[in-house]
Amino acid sequence: TGGGLLENIPRILPENVSVEIKRGTWNELPIFSVMQKLGNVEDAEMFRAFNMGVGMILICAEEDKQFVQNNLGECFEIGRVVKGNKKISIN
C-alpha cells in the first residue's frame, strides 16, 4: 500500500480522531539515523519509506491495553488516539 506510518494509519481512523506518536518509545535501529544523515532525508520521508523500524501498528481501546501487552510478547506503546481529523503527528 505504501505510505508507511504517515499515510497508512489515517486509512483506518474514523473522521473525528487523529494519532499522536511519541518518537523514542520503541527501539529505533541506528541504521535509520545513518541512512537519514547520508541521504539527507527528511523525518517525514523516513517514516513514509521505512516506518523507522516499527513493524506493525495495533490500535486498541485503553481498557484492552494490558491484555494486548500481556499476549503479544514484545510490543511498545508508541502513541495515542486523540480528537482530530485523521492526522498523524510525531513528536
- Please state, rounded to an integer, the average pLDDT across all residues of the chain: 93
pTM: 0.83
Q: What is the pLDDT of residue 81?
A: 97
Instruction: Quick: pLDDT tens for 57-81.
Output: 999 999 999 999 999 988 999 999 9
Which domains are seen in the chain, by residue range? 4-90 (3.90.650.10)
Q: What is the pLDDT of residue 1?
A: 58
Coil, strand, or helix at residue 83?
strand
Q: Is 22 left (phi over 0), alpha (psi -120 to 50) or beta?
A: beta
Sign of dihedral through CA atoms 43, 49, 54, 57? positive
Q: What is the pLDDT of residue 82?
A: 97
What whole-number distance in Å separates Cα of residue 30 and Cα of residue 12?
30
Ranges of the chain with pLDDT below 50: none
